[in-house]
Structure 1
Amino acid sequence: MKKIELLAPAGDPQKLASAIYFGADAVYLGGPGYGLRSQAGNFDLDQLRQARRLCSEHGVRLYLTLNATPRTGEWPHLQAYLEELRPLDLDAYIVADPGVLALVRQLDPRREIHLSTQANTANAAAVRFWQAAGVSRVNLARELSLDDIRAIRAGTDLELEAFVHGAMCVAWSGRCLLSAALTGRSANRGACAQPCRWSYRLEEELRPGEYHTIEEDERGTYLFNSRDLRLVEHLPVLLAAGVDSLKIEGRMKSRYYVAAVTRVYRRALDAWQADPEGWHCDPLWLEELDKVSHRPYDSGFLFAREDPVVEAGESRYRRACDFVAVVLSADPNGRALVEGRNRFRVGEQIEVIGPRMRQQTLVLERIETEDGESLSAAHANFRVWLQLPAGTAAGDLLRRPVAG
């Protein structure tokens, strides 16, 4: 059976480490420019070199996003940047603009090129066009149904990639002008302010200050807000349709999000690869995905509904757990040095999570400084010693239930 790739986001070096540790086959990340997440941590050239070494050591492929739309005046800088990137020998560049594609082909003709969802590829003829231009993989438009994907698979032999989890956009394949119009920050150049998530009220021109409700709750109306995508329960039909790579959205999300979501899809995909006929969606996977910060989940356009994405869900994020610390080192008995991400204290219930859905709950009995001093609580960025379950390893994360 052909191996299906699990592709995870890596918004900064810490998230990259978690994506690898929790089971990604490949990661995608951004450099200092020309990607569509300019507010992510991103990677300068030295960090890209380090990321390349880390990925190579673990057999993980590394894709760099170059999927923004450059303007004419940026071309000399982009050309110089591509020349600097060439020695890094990254596995692929993710592009959307035909000019960027042509420039990569000119300056670095051996580099593998993946086409971004931003290019809005929605039919097999378009896939064949991009293949003729030198693209080796297409990330399909998010607006496609299963039947659409099957038809594209039947009409091309190119690798196909599809999003399976994360935030969705109210605009067609992310081509939105709302952020640029309201804030001057262009979504198509990587600086989206996400005004689709803001609360709006209707005001009639001749009645200033009189606000009218449109299915409004006490917090306002969310006219453009989209739900979050979750396709873990639908993996068999998506894979049967011919998808080669499953992509998780979230370079702007937390390290905990990257770890928790990647490990669920890793387990689900491994279970399908091992026994496609006997595969079933484990309720634990759904429970775990509810523990990361998310908006109400939806299956997107996969089943060709009339309004699968633009149904205005509430904008408030939901989550069941707080990320409190990362394990830096641990001995076989579970004595571990951890670095705090949020405040936690003695007597709290804490859960350790690791790859392969390993998780165990305990009540913290003692917190010690690196010098052995006893503490009642630890804070963000503190390094402290804890007694955790045997088998805890460096890279594991600690979380606790959200109060109330």
Structure 2
Amino acid sequence: MSNVKKRPEVLAPAGTLEKLKVAVDYGADAVFVGGQAYGLRSRAGNFSMEEMLEGINYAHERGAKVYVAANMVTHEGNEDGAGAWFRELRDMGLDAVIVSDPALIEICATEAPGLEIHLSTQASATNVETFHFWKEYGLTRVVLAREVSMEELAEIRRRTDIEIEAFVHGAMCISYSGRCTLSNHMSDRDANRGGCSQSCRWKYDLYDMPFGQERKSIQGEIPEEFSMSAVDMSMIDHIPDMVENGVDSLKIEGRMKSIHYVSTVANCYKAAVDAYMESPEKFEAIKQDLIDEMWKVAQRELATGFYYGTPSENEQLFGARRKIPQYKFVGEVVAFNKDNMTATIRQRNVIMEGDRVEFYGPGFRHFECFIEDLHDAKGNKIDRAPNPMELLTITVPQEVKAGDMIRACKEGLINLYQKDGTSKTVRA
């Protein structure tokens, strides 16, 4: 292998065409989307073929790639029509499909030759021999199982030359590589065919059940009902390990997340990769800023998954939250008038005169100000705008650009764990 440090691809989720454009604008080198068949996110805003073509063209015009997740486990008959579907994607210029089921891999390889195939994390690739098997079958990339350690990743990279895609941010599944039937039993929705109801994230009670006596809930005797849910993954402060161990693509989970989430996380990982490729010192200088930025968007608590050891009880969701984001997404810039320093914004949440807000945009641009001279679309002066998607104008102290996002800095309550295991509430 070459000792030249290779820049990894930042791969962002795109549940809708709008999110695809936001991800690309905010620095993603590639996006992964779902079509209206063969995927594992039936409730995401999956792309029609017309939207797929528009998204592919939008990304390609800006130097980015598009991959389609076709990672369901097929039952008999589910594969009907897959050959024609793969051919249509290939012919519109799609860069690759992400597949786990051998039946769909076989259909794609034989009926849509020329379309690259990436092995989905659902296939649980955890060792060198698995990589060799799929390379011989013609696959060009393998998405690592999320249960692989950093040491194992390094060994796989040392002994293979197929591309490695590894998750760096987003939700973790409580089951191995997402292969779970809990949703099937709890809600009659097949998790492996796109219908997961995330039963592991429900709250579950505990009962005292003495022999021969009526069961008794112990709710109230514990601070919160238990779930079976892991905290989210974040590797933003470990980008050097991912780069030095030869990961080709840094994958961000979250096709069902908001444009606020997609823009923030893509922006952060793009800045992190750019900084480290420039120099380790540059990355260290902005690392804390990147970590802080992540906490401006709604998410669960964060850990590093399996990369540095098997997760413990501290990487599970129960009890009082240790950290809560203190920002709320309120709008996006539609236009900017430099002559009078006014911005036209599309509201996404309640905005009030005097709110302290932060504007941010691609390239990790930020500044804070207060909402001043708030007017509605008709030019009327208002002090509160409660209606989502309304067009408003405000005065800003410096230039903004169309596509920039706006967060409001909201005070709130944060639950903090104490050393003795109890919690207390403080005002942010």
Question: TM-score category by the smaller chain?
Answer: over 0.9
Change (3 A) 1:339 1:306: closer
1:255-280 CA distance string (max 9 Å, x none): 10111111111111100011136531
Structure-2 change in CA distance of 1:215 and 1:51 (3 Å): farther
1:343 paired residue number: 350
1:323 maps to what in 2?
A: 329
Counterpart selection for 2:175 from 153, 171, 176: 171
> Percent of aligned positions with the same letter in both sequences?
37
Letter aligned with residue 403 of structure 1? E
Aligned to 1:288: 293
* Cα offsets for 1:341-368 (capped at 9, x unmatched): 1111111111111112211111111222
How far apart are 1:375 and its partner, in Å?
2.0
Determine the C-alpha separation between the residues in 2 that align with 1:215 and 1:306: 26
SS at match of 1:75: coil
Q: What aligned pairs does 1:358-369 form with structure 2 within 5 A after superposition? A: 358-369=365-376
2:64 to 43, 51, 60: 60
Relative distance call for 1:25 and 1:118 in structure 2 (3 A) is same
Name the SS for the 2:89 alignment partner: helix
CA distance in structure 1 between the partners assigned to 2:315 and 2:289 by the alignment: 28
* Residues 214/207 of structure 1: CA separation in 2 closer, same or farther (3 Å cut): farther
Is 1:226–1:313's contact at 8 Å kept on the other side of the alignment?
A: no
Change (3 A) 1:36 1:390: same
Alpha-carbon offset, residue 292 of structure 1:
1.2
Q: Is the Cα contact below 8 Å between 2:7 and 2:273 reproduced in 1? A: no
Q: Please report the RMSD computed on the Cα atoms of aligned residues, expressed in angstroms.
A: 2.0
Residue type at the aligned position of 2:292: E
1:216-261 CA distance string (max 9 Å, x none): 31x3122x11011111111111221221111111111111011111
Q: Which moved more, 1:183-192 or 1:384-393?
A: 384-393
Shift of 1:311: 3.5
Partner of 2:202: 198
**Shift of residue 287 of structure 1?**
0.8
SS in 2 for 1:20: helix
Aligned residue runs from structure 1 range 111-190, under 5 A: 111-190=115-194
2:225 counterpart (209, 220, 224): 220
TM-score, scaled to structure 1: 0.94
Matched, 1:304 2:312: no
In the alignment, structure 1 residue 5 sits paired with structure 2 residue 9: yes
How far apart are the structure 1 equivalents of 2:251 and 2:313?
19
Structure 1 unaligned spans of 5+: none
Give, in angstroms, the shift of residue 335 of structure 1.
2.0
Letter in 2 for 1:6: V
What is the total number of aligned residue pairs between the two structures? 402
Pair 384,99 (structure 1): closer, same or farther in 2 beyond 3 Å: same
Moved more, 225-234 or 373-382: 373-382
Q: 2:46 aligns with which of 42, 55, 65?
A: 42
- Measured at CA, do residues 206 and 190 of structure 1 come closer, stay the same or move farther in structure 2, by a change above 3 Å? farther
